[in-house]
Amino acid sequence: MSAEVPTQPRNLPILATEESTAGKTYIVTGANTGLGFEAAKHFVRLGAKKVILAVRRIDTGEAAKRKIDEATGTTDIAEVWPLDLSSYTSVKAFAKRAIAELDRIDAVIENAAVATPEQTRAEGHNLTLTVNVLSTFLLAMLLLPKLKGSAEEYGILPRLSIVTSGIGWDARDKWEEIKEDPFVRMDALPVEELMATYPISKLMDSLTVRELAARLPVEQGKVVINAVCPGLCKTELVRNCPPAVKQSIVDQHVLYGRTAEDGSRTLLAGAVLGKDSHGTFTSNCEIREDKVPVWAKDEEAKKWQEHLWALIVEELEAVEPGCVQKALQN
């Protein structure tokens, strides 16, 4: 067995309990495999009333549901709903269904992401940008009013957790190159630089969570919004990486990678951490603002964070007019 390293502890705590989870409704995106699958299984095991497996392909989602049902001895808690983050139409349809069919939402865990070396386009942008950032926050905007409504009707404190990664902080140099016009620059990256789109997208996620939380305090929005870093985990995320990159990551997995189940505990933490986690970067199932480098949270960083926010809002308002204003209103 390989040794652990100080920054990657294993056997993380499971902060969610039957008491905190029973009777609640959860949405987990990318729940057919890896972290999302394991988190969804935990929620079911802990007595949730309903767990929505939001997946791109129904067949893989149904296969995941069967595994969850068998592992937990249940049949009517996990539900498979289609959600393709490469399609704004799919995101809007999913949110509309959630608002109409779910009586409450206690937490939304936005886990789905892609990492690809190909310059594939979706909704006019690089696929990684569309899936990991734009559609992720489109879904957040569309569901925030439902989360707030759930808080007011049921007297609960819902969570919106965006799964990000500390690898984003390593993308500083590339971010400095593209931050003035990040969408255009990401869309135009040459093939040899496309693997950089994943860490950049995760940096964008972390910054956008900070900006969104600042604009929607818990007292106003009634929702805790946080960023969750699951660490380096043995999942299928690397399946589309170039061979050399994939092998390097696999080698790191052997040395200190977490299992998907262990890593999923960070997602559970995001769904139960308190108000003090609002707008923060969490890692190892706890708030770890010390992991956020100074350059990403000083006054200069805030200026570019606001700039990124403005670009995201412009895109989302074009897709669904009024969605950001409605999400942020009192």
| Tens digit of each residue's pLDDT (9 = 90 or more) over 97-128 | 999 999 999 999 999 999 888 889 999 999 99
Phi, psi of 257 (to 5 degrees): -70, 145
Per-residue pLDDT, 239: 57
DSSP per-residue letters across 260-298: HHHHHHHHHHHTT--GGGTT-EEETTEE-GGGS-GGGTS
The least confident of 160-169, 253-262, 319-328 is 253-262
- The CATH number for 18-328, chosen from 3.40.50.720, 3.30.70.60, 3.40.50.300, 1.10.390.10, is 3.40.50.720
Q: 83 near 29, Cβ under 8 Å?
A: yes
Per-residue pLDDT, 156: 98
- pLDDT, mean of residues 51-75: 97
pLDDT above 70 coverage of the chain, percent: 91
Please determine, for residue 3, whether its predicted confidence score (pLDDT) is greater than 50.
no
Give the whole-angstrom CA distance, residue 189 versus residue 196.
9
Confidence of residue 2 (pLDDT cuts 50, 70, 90): very low
| pTM (predicted TM-score) | 0.93
CB contact set of 124 (below 8 Å; sequence gap of 6+): none
Other Cβ atoms less than 10 A from the Cβ of 133: the count is 30
- pLDDT, mean of residues 240-260: 63
pLDDT digits (tens, 9 = 90+) for 153-212: 999 999 999 999 999 999 999 999 999 999 999 999 998 888 899 999 999 999 999 999
Q: How open is the CA angle 178-179-185, to the nearest 5 degrees?
A: 35
Per-residue pLDDT, 171: 95
Which residues carry out catalysis?
198, 202
**Per-domain boundaries in the chain:** 18-328
Per-residue pLDDT, 119: 85
